[in-house]
Structure 1
């Protein structure tokens, strides 16, 4: 057999797949990751953009999950300070929904279920009558969680995996995987129709919402578990209030809705919980969900919104464990790792469920299970992980440093570079002396040098890759600018230097 054998082949380029590839590469294993579309193109770019313990999961007595998520919150704040940062939440008190003692108890547990070094604890508040909330809401509770640029978290994990030797193959679909001679023979097909066969010692099914159907379409064997697909929709409106805190709103149906500061000028509102029975690739926010979110906001805020205020909306499918037939909002966000060795055959590890906050712990757990079959693997290492660009102390210090080195850079552009790339922005700033050195301006502060970097280093191939996953500049781009971006990328990607 002349084809090299990879130790770990990961199917799925969402947060769990990228995290597993990174952990495996850091243990000295050879790794290949394939993803049928762009990295983070499904659930992992359609989250609420939070690293959080899940305050509402306490009501469901999921203490282990909350403990793990709170511990991971601290680890991830250290790992990626450019794309993950602290966020204070205000919970307006509505006594007919949850009594004050219950909220105080929940927040006490939230403060103490795991070690908390970087974030302040919870407290009670008296709200100003001149604040953004309805005047009858005069009491609230405040606590800490963290914000994350979810899609960039996936990309940074893939970058870190590649730096450790992993082969990352976006836009490459796994069409067949068969056990043969103690290995996996895997057929991959790229978007342009090219195909290849790889051999792997272990196979990881991290296909997210497609994890169950992979058994029907690729593995030709019965699925060991079934997923419950729950749609969560979000919408973006012009900024509802001017301050930096987020709000967590209690609705009369028992659900909660987040209102988050978003991209300086906007508010991000979500999420819903609706069972989804179709193709996860075709999910979208419904008119009913938009109306629902508007109604929850209007019950709490002075400023009233309507569907006409929505400038953007998105939806994602959460792959949750199919356990019982209860309400979608009460389905567990925990994960299960199911290992199949089929009488000594090559191992298959399938990931069912999970949430973005616990991806690192999930990946470590997955590699610990696979390491039994890969004796060359070294031990766990990611608790001290620093993702690419995260080697700095805080945003203010890095902004000061970059302002000194690049005083000609416009402040909004500098702000975005710090919060997207951290120190890695120096790769395309290099020794630039003026804004002209960044090349053609394509709109909304996106210059050719940054775009070239995204295509060369971060696997960007389409305008959507750049505008909605590598950044959120889609909120600001005009139709004409988008066309210009498409033309630039097409010309660059088809040039002899790229091909």
Structure 2
């Protein structure tokens, strides 16, 4: 039995690692256990955006949208290597009709009966006005109108699409965000345990005893259930707590296809079913398309993009782009299960995306985390610590706003200068290689390459600019335990590698772990 900690956190996704980092920075002792890999489930299967959620305005989720919009620039400043501003093109489709189901669309059908079955231009512009002004913007530019004919933005679109609006949100590497929060938490004293499933948590005197599948046991004053899609399983089967609260599992699936356009902006596309889908530049050579909203049944770790979802996303974007997208074009899919709070909404699309923190004080405290958006993870962590404050009276105050994550200590617009400096110090780097390292590691890229004067100094070349030095960094500093961890969560280099190269990475990681 190890020494007792203030917090034991179940779950190594963005909510668990965000709470761990915040708590450790307040001077609390923290231990976190993740059953698989960090960001191994929902937190690596997002649409990779820091965004306010323009669509959520239709559901009157004003508090959530306002909080998320204000967070975008706070987060940009803390992680300019893994997050950056992105412009989104919203084409105005004169033929679009949909069945309105949202509170705003129902109201508009009364106020503007002539626009029934549409999101009229006035409604879209009003929503974008709110989007620009609900949050305090100093970095991100506001909305502008576009005439698409003869422009790079209009070139890949069908001829009927003549006008559009363009607005701002942000891109983020979701899985690296989780890993960097875990690294910062560990640097502040958190014990991060990866590949360790919690099988029992029971109240024991004035605290909790937590047992892992390998029979290790730990003590803690407070238990935090941030298990994501498994939050209900932890309540019922691990902690054996009575609860009437339920989680609603909603699957979001994405497809990746060869790139559909050559510029760096994304598209926000409206569907006849009232949903929206993004088409986003991805890994230089690809376009990321998503997401769906489908109630998920069965195990959370069995989420896959079904043939119906693939066909749906292909049909959706083919209604906008000149070049049709077919299932045969899809090079990879991924799906995540959102653990939303079950608010009784009639559809998966209408279910709230806001987070709910439920505190059980019938004995030593236990906090259950439902839902949440990746954009508001930092605020969720602050709210969680505020809720637990009576049980942790020696904790410090809020501190994370403006404090960079590892490698993020450079200006928001400084990535290019950092890549140029990296190439000056290591002339063997190609521009693309240097830029990739900066976008993954920021100022720590120079630490990784320290002393290297040739590419051979970095050890074995696995392809796609992945070297033995970088792979060892992922294993020793970022908890990577398999080739999949390295190629699909610590990076996305698996998209650029051959099957033989992927197998070589798997073999290297396995051999190194066996020798450790």
Q: Distance in 1 between matches of 2:502 and 2:284?
A: 21
Following superposition, the deviation at residue 369 of structure 1 comes to 1.4
Partner of 2:394: 376
1:458 pairs with 2:472:
no
**Matched ranges for 1:34-183 at <5 A:** 34-95=33-94, 96=96, 97-129=118-150, 131-183=155-207
Consecutive unaligned residues of structure 2, counting only runs of 5 or more, are 97-117
1:387 pairs with 2:396:
no
The RMSD of aligned alpha carbons is 1.0
Following superposition, the deviation at residue 195 of structure 1 comes to 2.5
From 329, 346, 365, the equivalent of 2:383 is 365
Following superposition, the deviation at residue 370 of structure 1 comes to 1.3
Asked whether the equivalents of residues 212 and 223 of structure 1 are also in contact (C-alpha less than 8 Å), the reply is no
Q: Distance in 2 between matches of 1:195 and 1:494?
A: 22
Following superposition, the deviation at residue 224 of structure 1 comes to 4.2
Q: Deviations over 1:459-490 (max 9, x none)?
A: 00101100100000110111111111111111
Partner of 1:285: 305
Partner of 1:15: 14
Consecutive unaligned residues of structure 1, counting only runs of 5 or more, are none
From 302, 306, 326, the equivalent of 2:326 is 306
Q: TM-score scaled by structure 1?
A: 0.97
Asked whether the equivalents of residues 93 and 160 of structure 2 are also in contact (C-alpha less than 8 Å), the reply is no
**Matched ranges for 1:260-409 at <5 A:** 260-342=280-362, 345-393=363-411, 394-409=414-429
Q: Distance in 2 between matches of 1:397 and 1:368?
A: 39
> What is the DSSP-based 3-state SS (H/G/I as helix, E as strand, rest coil) of the residue aligned with 1:213?
helix
Following superposition, the deviation at residue 220 of structure 1 comes to 1.1
Q: Distance in 2 between matches of 1:135 and 1:367?
A: 52
Asked whether the equivalents of residues 285 and 314 of structure 1 are also in contact (C-alpha less than 8 Å), the reply is yes
Following superposition, the deviation at residue 56 of structure 1 comes to 0.4
Q: Which moved more, 1:209-218 or 1:458-467?
A: 209-218
Partner of 2:455: 435
Q: TM-score scaled by structure 2?
A: 0.93
Partner of 2:110: none
Q: Which moved more, 1:316-325 or 1:291-300?
A: 316-325
Q: Distance in 2 between matches of 1:325 and 1:206?
A: 23
Following superposition, the deviation at residue 128 of structure 1 comes to 1.5
Q: Distance in 2 between matches of 1:223 and 1:287?
A: 36
Q: Deviations over 1:250-293 (max 9, x none)?
A: 00110000000000000000000110011000000011111111
Asked whether the equivalents of residues 159 and 458 of structure 1 are also in contact (C-alpha less than 8 Å), the reply is yes
Q: Distance in 2 between matches of 1:105 and 1:157?
A: 36
Following superposition, the deviation at residue 19 of structure 1 comes to 0.2
Q: Distance in 2 between matches of 1:416 and 1:372?
A: 44
Q: Distance in 1 between matches of 2:142 and 2:434?
A: 31
Following superposition, the deviation at residue 222 of structure 1 comes to 2.1
Partner of 1:25: 24
Q: Distance in 2 between matches of 1:286 and 1:35?
A: 27
Q: Deviations over 1:442-475 (max 9, x none)?
A: 1211100000111111000101100100000110
> What is the DSSP-based 3-state SS (H/G/I as helix, E as strand, rest coil) of the residue aligned with 2:442?
helix
From 211, 222, 232, the equivalent of 1:202 is 222
> What is the DSSP-based 3-state SS (H/G/I as helix, E as strand, rest coil) of the residue aligned with 2:453?
coil
Partner of 2:111: none
